[in-house]
Structure 1
């Protein structure tokens, strides 16, 4: 069962903020937790860009963190977490270490340096300021598509973007996904309009087209971004279930199945595919093994749907020769 909002913020205990720069052709998306959250991650791409991910491993001493950043800008974009830290510190949020207050913010970035935006920013990139702005805007409702960290995202054949989806498990836990779709490959079958995620669609959340009657060999033909352009799909999975750090790690690992289903293909040499998994700790697990197993399965489904929504909701960048959006080519879907 999906929630009316159908966003990751249906999970109690977190807020999302977006900020972008249209001239730059890039942006930042921030997830802030109302209380420090148990978070882990799994990096399965061959070319990741990350910050503060080692502390998320189950054998590390840090029990929880304050926020997660999904950003454009490749290695330059890693400055965004500093802006989020500055915002949190101003709010008095962070772990007290002696006289210092230290907000802990983990981050992953996408490569969007070749999308037509003006990257001549001078001495320092603008991502620290964008991170601060995104944190200031954090709330329960936020834009999808060409927004925040998904502003400059692309795929092999259509404009990428920011996607989200949520679902409730049979035992009443909520799980949601937030993703920046900047894939080296494609979210649609062949040349479209059907999404690889079509069999998991809820209502008409990405056009209501379902799957084609048959996926032939030509539709399965591999193609990807040409030249030396890396690509990355990065995501945050969140749930209100009380999880240990080890369980959060397993949730992040299992959720990578959502990338494999939503894209043709993922986890490649030039990918930086990274997934964070967070527990806001509002509802204990009952039958722990069974409920956690269902949670991992539905989290992957959520991520698959969020990938399609990110592409479906996107609009083309305002530059000559920019990649077309799904809606530019196919309208709004069923009945359009």
Structure 2
């Protein structure tokens, strides 16, 4: 019997004042990109926990480095090829007159992170500059679509025992508000591990049993000695953005990104592996009139990331790959 699924909590990252989100999905195969835009600029931080990341412009987010604000963050499929999507965001932002004023020009600051989805469909098709531009053109303050869209288009979870026993991942969003301050998150989940219900620890989507009729529970399987399938480093990865309307320093933004990984650890098992490039960005738009303190913001960030990760698989839909491989989803009732 299938376990009862958790109820989707309300809210999205666009509940944070000053944040817009846009998706682009390539109809030729499951891949795409998702942009989080802060037109007015946002203080930003980043924390990379996976051992096989694909990123761009993360060094400038170090608290001791010069640039104080970013204008967008790009999340993309396509592995390292997908980093090109950030150039499309730069082009679009430049056309809107948004960027760091350098006197002779404005330079949009767009950090990025990618996930590996090249084993889903034709690997020669990956997000490009044009894809990043299109994601920006589609951006709005509306709650973003979830599941098989944008950076979650080609996401797959539960690959520890091979793609033949994996399930469809996706992208999800959530938000938490406390006393007039909001923290939201958007997460593209392409983890090697399972996504679990944080309340019970039961897998929601992940590695299937040998007969593909139930979930294997990757964490328990590994601990009892089941041998994992050989994994190519970097062939997975969960990436995302945390945003708040509180005012933060760069040090505080970096800390918010760090504690956001607590949410990944509650919802993904195992997480931060040698084959994942798990990366979280944090943005602070400073639109709220107050600051509840970092302890409260940290709790909110972990909760928003946890919820968004679960939403990513609750919203996913199963797909069929060339060669007859089926990737079922949580919604299929497994």
- Shorter-chain TM-score bucket reads 0.7 to 0.9
Given candidates 256, 271, 281, the residue that maps to 1:276 is: 281
Write the deviation string for residues 147-176 of structure 1: whole angstroms up to 9, x where unpaired: 10000000013210001111112x321001
Q: CA deviation at 1:298?
A: 1.7
Q: Secondary structure at the match of 1:187?
A: strand
Q: CA deviation at 1:322?
A: 3.2
- Cα pair 2:31 2:127 within 8 Å, conserved: no
Write the deviation string for residues 37-58 of structure 1: whole angstroms up to 9, x where unpaired: 0001011110000000001110
- Cα pair 2:156 2:189 within 8 Å, conserved: yes
2:173 counterpart of 1:164 = yes
The alignment yields a C-alpha RMSD, in angstroms, of 2.4
Q: Tell me which moved more, 93-102 or 248-257.
A: 93-102
Write the deviation string for residues 94-153 of structure 1: whole angstroms up to 9, x where unpaired: 1222322211101000011112x12234xxx54211111100000122210001000000
Q: Secondary structure at the match of 1:198?
A: coil
Q: Secondary structure at the match of 1:105?
A: coil
Q: CA deviation at 1:226?
A: 4.6
- Cα pair 1:25 1:317 within 8 Å, conserved: no
Q: CA deviation at 1:282?
A: 1.1
- Cα pair 2:77 2:127 within 8 Å, conserved: no
Given candidates 112, 132, 148, the residue that maps to 1:107 is: 112
Q: Which runs of 5+ in 2 are unaligned?
A: 1-7, 159-165, 205-215
Q: Secondary structure at the match of 1:99?
A: coil
The size of the alignment, in residue pairs, is 300
- Cα pair 1:155 1:225 within 8 Å, conserved: no
- Cα pair 1:285 1:292 within 8 Å, conserved: no
Give runs of aligned pairs for residues 131-210 of structure 1, distance below 5 A. Answer: 131-141=132-142, 142-156=144-158, 157-169=166-178, 171-188=179-196, 195=197, 197-198=198-199
2:52 counterpart of 1:47 = yes
Partner residue, 1:333: none
Q: Secondary structure at the match of 2:262?
A: helix
2:72 counterpart of 1:63 = no
Distance across 2 between alignment mates of 1:297 and 1:4: 16
Q: CA deviation at 1:329?
A: 2.7
- Cα pair 1:10 1:166 within 8 Å, conserved: yes
Partner residue, 1:220: 220
Partner residue, 2:318: 316
Q: Secondary structure at the match of 2:111?
A: strand
